[in-house]
Structure 1
């Protein structure tokens, strides 16, 4: 599976899978509590602040999963970015959604 690098790409994948599975926007909206117009905007690449929680709801209904690449090193902050401390993450701290809604 390729990397998703933009809101447009994520929306395009959601739309393609939704259509392949014969799921209407109205059904997806009802199952997730996300408005059909908001889902349309996501699919068109018009919604850049959709939120992780909303993506997870869509992925659950569409029986999709998402993974996070932790092998890529974090870039050091630039002079314009504040320095922040990130907690040490272990694999047990990362969860994926496989359609069952379980960790």
Structure 2
């Protein structure tokens, strides 16, 4: 198991990025953004076994991106609403940097038009 996933509590942001690196896990999160659902329903669009989907869910759960519960035989999964807040906060710093750089480039190009 990659270190970032094994030590999610030591580096929660790293664990989230590691979990988000996989396209299957991103697709699972996209589905859960529409609402709580079962593991079986989550597995339906993928050509993989339920245990394989369950492994993806464990990675997402350890990263704090989803929560699972048990209701008799039903094991609903749901996205954690604030789970991506620290990812977005981290990205926002770079978004401001990129925007400022592009604004300077626009200004430079406008001033140096022929």
TM tier, smaller:
under 0.3
Compare the two structures and name the one with the higher helix fraction.
2
TM-score, normalising length: structure 1: 0.27
Structure number, greater radius of gyration: 2
Compare the two structures and name the one with the higher strand fraction.
2
TM-score, normalising length: structure 2: 0.25
